[in-house]
Chain A
Amino acid sequence: MTALTAPLAAIGRPVLAALAAIGRVALFAASVIGHIFRPPFYPREFFHALMQIGWFSLPVVGLTAVFTGGALALQIYSGGARFNAEAVVPSIVAIGMVRELGPVLGGLMVAARVASSIAAEIGTMKVTEQIDALVTLSTNPIKYLAVPRVLAATLAVPVLVAVGDAIGIAGGWLVGVNRLGFNSTTYLQNTVDFLETWDVVSGIWKGAAFGFIVALMGCYHGMNSGRGAQGVGTATKSAVVGASVLILAANYILTELFFSA
């Protein structure tokens, strides 16, 4: 290799590796989606995943939302005071929560909690040969392990986002009424008046996309886990990092699609 081509090769190698990784994830996603509609179905695994991903994520999503809503109210009040726009607090809190902060922070919290858990569980199954055992028992691991989790997350996260939105707005209301001196009825009236249906629905669609991403990354990295404890640890870390970055990237793309003029 010449001195001229060596730097190009040094750039090309990671680019090719990244493209190959994107291709592998895309093929895995296509395989999961294809299996969603083909029997056999595993309802027990689906409902178990629904509980693990949806119900048990509710506390962390709720706590995140209530503090975020409260902080948002304080920030908007403080910022709005610079141009006598303190009255916009209820509407901006509501719009900010349902369009952006509810879905994004909810998605990130679920990524931290669920992507890591799925990757660790499936990664451990891989290193202890449980996935090989599934194959020898004529059971497709993608169908049995990935499909129920991806489907459950895609359906559960939008519900979590909706609940998080409501809790976040309630957090803003609590701070607005108790700290910033807003009248309770006026605050709630402003929230309802300025909020449009699409604001809420767009956030819920984002939640579905983020749920899909979280479970997909957990399953993908778990099933491609390396050997031993270190392999499972790396898979878990990659799942959380991958899911978080993809959530933020998908959020930008979806915001462009939904709200660009």
Chain B
Amino acid sequence: MITLSGVTKTFGKNRVLRGVDLTIPSGQSMVIIGGSGTGKSVLLKCILGLVQHDTGTITLDGQDVTTADRDAFLARFGMLFQGGALFDSLRVWENVAFRLMRGPTKRPKAEARDIAIEKLRRVGLKPETADLFPAELSGGMQKRVGLARAIAASPEIIFFDEPTTGLDPIMAGVINDLIREIVTEMGATAMTITHDMSSVRAIADRVAMLHDGLIQWTGPIADLDTTTDPYVQQFIHGRATGPIAAVR
């Protein structure tokens, strides 16, 4: 279980997170929604330690993430980045098998390649894709490779940062379905950041809305449409008028 309590983060004069309190139960898929620039990605990076939060505590299964053994902590995570973040200089299979070929759980090259091809197949990519470079792939294929890399080492927790941004609706649907299937079959804890409502409905067990650096609302996906919270209602219906300023 991941628990955030009173987490704040300021960049210069910009207070991005103003005291975030949030619990992500084990084995559940939590989706964080919110407008652009509301600090969703910063929140995710704070949990991973890519950005150091200023105050508050973040714990994973009761242990403070800032004092945990870094390698052991990160070994529990997989992450799909918004733009894929594939390594240009490595072939697709080497990207997918990156963690498998390094560190304490290092596998022989042939075995790592076999696992990578299996993971590529799991996300709907043919084995021939394995020897291509990321620049030779379409945006949707890059996203799938990123997903294969995120699940390659069978992590307990998977983060998805805007998994469908920049994809056409059909490809976005494919990615959403893949995420849902993989999270369910792996029994992983998932945290997804998105402002794509079709992703929310496809992926989420629970939803939290981040607004103005605070968790404005949180609840099960079934309650999303019936909540009376004006922020959530404005956001999910895409209204220009309401408590959230249209121009930020």
Contact = CB atoms under 8 A, between A and B. Distances in A.
B74 interface: yes
Interface in A111-155: 125, 128-130, 132-133, 135-139
A137 B159 CA distance: 13
Contacts of B38: none
B3 to A, nearest CB: 20
B81 A137 contact: no
Nearest to B100: A137
Nearest to B87: A130
A40 interface: yes
A138 B71 contact: yes
Contacts of A135: 48-50, 74
A35 to B, nearest CB: 15
A132 B80 CA distance: 11
Contact of B87 (A133, A136, A138): A133
A51 to B, nearest CB: 12
Nearest to B41: A129
**Interface of B, helix, strand, loop or mixed by DSSP:** loop
Interface in B5-54: 45, 48-50
Most chain-B Cβ atoms within 10 A of its Cβ — which of A40, A133, A137? A137
B77 interface: yes
A138 B81 contact: no
Contacts of B85: 128-130, 132-133
B79 A133 contact: yes
Contacts, number: 49
Given A136-B50, A138-B71, A129 B99 contact: no
The interface centre, meaning the residue of B71, B79, B85 with most chain A CB atoms within 10 A of its CB, is B85
B103 A138 contact: yes
A129 B150 CA distance: 14
Contacts of A138: 70-71, 74-75, 99, 102-103
B102 A132 contact: no
Contacts of B89: 48
A129 B77 contact: no
Nearest to B73: A138
B83 interface: yes
B82 interface: yes
Contacts of A128: 83, 85
B175 to A, nearest CB: 17
B93 interface: no
Nearest to B77: A136
Given A129-B85, A130-B87, A136 B48 contact: yes
Give me the 7 closest cross-chain CB pairs, A-B, nearest first.
A133-B85, A129-B85, A136-B79, A138-B74, A129-B81, A137-B99, A130-B85
14 contacts: A128-B85, A130-B86, A130-B87, A130-B88, A133-B87, A135-B50, A136-B48, A136-B50, A136-B74, A136-B79, A137-B98, A137-B99, A137-B102, A138-B70
